[in-house]
Amino acid sequence: DAGVIQSPRHEVTEMGQEVTLRCKPISGHDYLFWYRQTMMRGLELLIYFNNNVPIDDSGMPEDRFSAKMPNASFSTLKIQPSEPRDSAVYFCASRFASGITDTQYFGPGTRLTVL
Amino acid sequence: AQKVTQAQTEISVVEKEDVTLDCVYETRDTTYYLFWYKQPPSGELVFLIRRNSFDEQNEISGRYSWNFQKSTSSFNFTITASQVVDSAVYFCALSEAYGGATNKLIFGTGTLLAVQP
């Protein structure tokens, strides 16, 4: 079975540009999470969705960040405009909340560099 | 508040040595979940184990074993006869369970394990 798929794997952009990160969760999973990993702050949850509905976006750093999940198999995280401090690895994770196997499985991550 | 502490920032061992990675957590909930993830140099996060707060039975999976002790709020991870392929950053994580679902994962800062040949 395919795991969580993220694209692109690497993104280099210039300050002020719009960046869109993409995620395809594991088929059948009803929760989707976006995390950011930096040296300074470690792994932190940005936002998560349940059945395509955003549940908690309290981790989104500021209004420049937005996330959508138009259907069960696709989500985007957008940064507009991007800044150098947004440079990080962004992970998407998904989970099926069965109560037995409610474990989050992570994608390979997108390494974002903002110059 | 929830918190996960991995006091060991880096550990270096020689191949075939046993190594234990420490994890101490804080939570006010009585029902919670604990996890270990591995992040190899390639960067992905690989799930290793999940443990429920009401199950203190230790677990062994091949060369990996986990010791969960609620009395000391610890969930330590031991690798027996370490191998070079075990070199990675290992993260311990906690989530509190409400409504039967685990939502926010709180990660520790990770322990970098370097296994020398």
Q: Between chains, do A48 and B45 touch, taking CB under 8 Å as contact?
A: no
- B1, pLDDT greater than 50: yes
Retrieve residue B22's tokens.
């420490």
Percent of chain A's residues with pLDDT above 90: 83
Q: What is the pLDDT of residues A63-85, one digit of tens each?
A: 999 999 999 999 999 999 999 99
**Sign of the CA dihedral B117, A43, B46, B30?**
positive
Distances (CA, A) of A93 to A53, A111, B26, B94, B111: 15, 15, 24, 15, 21
Q: Between chains, do A97 and B45 touch, taking CB under 8 Å as contact?
A: no
**Sign of the CA dihedral B40, B43, B47, B51?**
positive
Closest chain B C-alpha to A26 CA, distance in angstroms = 14
Q: Which residue has the tokens 């709180």?
A: B106
- The predicted pLDDT at position B55 comes to 84
Confidence of residue B29 (pLDDT cuts 50, 70, 90): confident
Q: Between chains, do A109 and B43 touch, taking CB under 8 Å as contact?
A: yes
Chains A & B: contacts with CB separation below 8 Å = 52
- The predicted pLDDT at position A99 comes to 56
How far is B100 from B32, CA to CA, in rounded Å? 10
Average pLDDT, chain A: 93
* B90 membership: H or E segment, kind and range: strand B88-98
Closest chain B C-alpha to A106 CA, distance in angstroms = 6
Question: Cβ–Cβ contacts within 10 Å for residue B30, how many?
Answer: 10
Check if the beta carbon of residue A37 is closer than 8 Å to that of residue A88. yes
Q: Between chains, do B105 and A104 touch, taking CB under 8 Å as contact?
A: yes
How far is B28 from A62, CA to CA, in rounded Å? 29
Q: Collect the ranges in chain A with pLDDT lower than 70.
A: 1, 98-101
How far is B106 from A43, CA to CA, in rounded Å? 8
**Sign of the CA dihedral B32, A58, A12, A93?**
positive
Distances (CA, A) of A111 to A1, A11, A37, B9, B48: 24, 6, 9, 23, 23
Among A92, A86, A77, A74, which Cα is nearest to A113's?
A: A86
How far is B95 from B5, CA to CA, in rounded Å? 14
